Amino acid sequence: MIRLQADLHTHTIASTHAYSTITENCSFAAKNGIKCVAMTDHAMTMPDAPHCWHYHNLKILPRKIEGVTVLKGAEANIIDYDGNIDIDDETLGYLEWVVASFHKYTCKPSTVEEHTRGYLSIAKNPIIDIIGHPTTSMFEYDMEKCVKAFKEYNKIVEINESSIMWKNGSRENALELMKLCKKYEVFISIDSDAHFHELIGQAPLALEMAQSIDFPSKLVINSDFDMLREYILSKRPNLDI
């Protein structure tokens, strides 16, 4: 059975439809064996996003809260099909971790061809670490083609518990995506996308799915904090984690 040691996509009250503080998130994580939490509130074009000062001031947070390593990041919105996100260069300079996701509020859903072009372009954007919840039925795409590109450009593919739970079609799409990641040996991250502290590190549906197809734990980047740290330092060698 795969166990999680990090949660790489979480929200705090800085996103107004989330309900816990970073301290509450970390304290729940600490009690449940989670060693690292990426704080990834919504970037600026989302209606409930914090002001850009939220990101500019992340530097004042300690590296560890309640003993849990905090990665200071954002969930960027993919805003077109050319590989662009809604975070300016100055703000990116303050971030240690970037999830990039399609949301219908910030990018109008289009055709399978356009979504495929969008994911292929975002794969090439060097600032992105994780492709957030690429399983929503609104943004269907050529999964096999894109999974190969995610591998080529060293992106982590997210299996998102919250999407599996709440978004139409995500369960089937997540299973298909996981099978492709297994076939092509692409790193996945099983994340909660928690909007409340008691959901941090919790992904029973995704973990059950992984077990059902015998998904190798060595490809689940957040199942081992040392493996995750190695990945992060390969991209950001100066980070003090």
C-alpha span between 23 and 232 (Å, rounded): 23
Q: Which is nearer to Zn ion, 91 or 101 (CB)?
A: 101
Binding to Zn ion by residue 75, rule CB under 5 A? yes
Stretch that binds Zn ion, among 20-28, 88-96, 185-193, 199-207 (CB under 5 A): 185-193
Query: Which residue from 176, 229, 237, 193 is spatially nearest to 99, judged by alpha carbons?
Result: 193
The per-residue b/e assignment along 134-149, b for 16 or more CB within 10 angstroms, e otherwise, is: bbbeebebbbeebbbb
What are the start-end ranges of the H helices in 101-237? Answer: 112-123, 143-152, 161-166, 170-184, 204-212, 225-235
C-alpha span between 160 and 152 (Å, rounded): 22
Q: Which is nearer to Zn ion, 84 or 184 (CB)?
A: 84
* Least separation in angstroms between CB 42 and Zn ion: 7
Q: Which 159-178 positions form the footprint of Zn ion (CB under 5 A)?
A: none
Q: Which is nearer to Zn ion, 80 or 152 (CB)?
A: 80
Q: With CB under 5 A as the rule, give the number of residues binding Zn ion.
A: 3
- Give me the long-range contacts of 210-216 (CB less than 8 A, separation at least 24): 210/2, 210/159, 210/178, 211/1, 211/2, 213/175, 213/178, 213/179, 213/182, 215/2, 215/178, 215/181, 215/182, 215/188, 216/182
Q: Cβ of 213: how many Cβ atoms within 10 Å?
A: 12
Q: Cβ of 48: how many Cβ atoms within 10 Å?
A: 13
Q: Which is nearer to Zn ion, 91 or 106 (CB)?
A: 106
Stretch that binds Zn ion, among 104-112, 118-126, 188-196, 220-228 (CB under 5 A): 188-196
* Least separation in angstroms between CB 167 and Zn ion: 10
* Least separation in angstroms between CB 48 and Zn ion: 11
Residue corresponding to tokens 């060698």: 237
Stretch that binds Zn ion, among 62-70, 88-96, 176-184, 191-199 (CB under 5 A): 191-199
* Least separation in angstroms between CB 196 and Zn ion: 12
* Least separation in angstroms between CB 203 and Zn ion: 13
* Least separation in angstroms between CB 49 and Zn ion: 11
Q: Which 96-115 positions form the footprint of Zn ion (CB under 5 A)?
A: 101
Q: Which is nearer to Zn ion, 77 or 91 (CB)?
A: 77
Q: Going by DSSP bridges, is the β-strand pair 97-101/130-131 parallel, antiparallel, or unpaired?
A: parallel
* Least separation in angstroms between CB 101 and Zn ion: 4
Binding site residues, Zn ion, CB under 5 A: 75, 101, 193
